Amino acid sequence: MVEDVVRTLGFLCMGSRLRRIGERLQADTQQIIDEIGLGIQAGQYPFLAAIDRAGPLTVGELAQAVGITQPGATRTTGQLLELGFVDMQPAPDDQRRRLVSLTDKGQELIDYSKISVWPRVAAAVADLCGDLDGPILEQLAAIEDGLAEAPLAQRSPAKEKTR
């Protein structure tokens, strides 16, 4: 068995480490989404959630809300448009801005997700790291160990905790 360098190097590799844990969590989340059978990518949720919370937003506002760059927001918005979850129309007062709003289909997806996917994901993540405390490196180690033991999909509220 080979040493996990990223873990060993601690603060030095914290960027790589956060990133790989984030990727793992998103992949696990995707698995839950697929199990429930929704045709959406985990990374697209924050966009829909932002509009659901704040009402129609422009592409730039979406980028800010989700914390990525504008070209990334443009692309994901295009995908959501393609999938029929959102609608886009120029802002009446400023033709440069494109207002992105939820379609009925998008609103339904969100409403259903709120009762099916989101609670399950949030509970699974909380099960994984909700009770943690202490220095961040220790918590990250605990999270990685936890994920190795049981992925998010096995930490859903439906399944009784056996530990």
Residues 18-47 that bind DNA (CB under 7 A): 20, 23, 27, 41-44
Place of tokens 């199990």: 35
Token pair of 109, please?
């997806």
User: Which residues face 99 on adjacent strands?
Assistant: 58, 89
Q: Which is nearer to DNA, 84 or 162 (CB)?
A: 84
If one asks whether residue 157 binds a second copy (CB under 8 A), the answer comes out as no
If one asks whether residue 38 binds a second copy (CB under 8 A), the answer comes out as no
Residues in contact with 30: Cβ distance below 8 Å, sequence separation at least 6, in sequence order = 41, 42
Instruction: Tell me the chain's radius of gyration from C-alpha atoms.
Output: 18
If one asks whether residue 132 binds a second copy (CB under 8 A), the answer comes out as yes
From the list 16-24, 103-111, 134-142, 154-162, the region that binds DNA by CB under 7 A is 16-24
If one asks whether residue 16 binds DNA (CB under 7 A), the answer comes out as yes
Min dist CB 13 to a second copy, Å, is 6
φ, ψ (nearest 5 deg) of residue 19: -60, -45
* DSSP codes, 29-77: HHHHHHHHT----GGGHHHHHHHHHH-SEEHHHHHHHHTS-HHHHHHHH
Binds DNA (CB under 7 A): choice among 17, 48, 51, 58: 58
If one asks whether residue 100 binds a second copy (CB under 8 A), the answer comes out as no
Binds DNA (CB under 7 A): choice among 96, 145, 160, 161: 96
- As a whole number of angstroms, the distance between CA 28 and CA 152 comes to 6
Chain residues binding a second copy by CB under 8 A are 1-26, 28-29, 42-43, 45-46, 49-50, 53-54, 57, 61, 64-68, 118, 121-122, 125-126, 129-130, 132-136, 139, 143
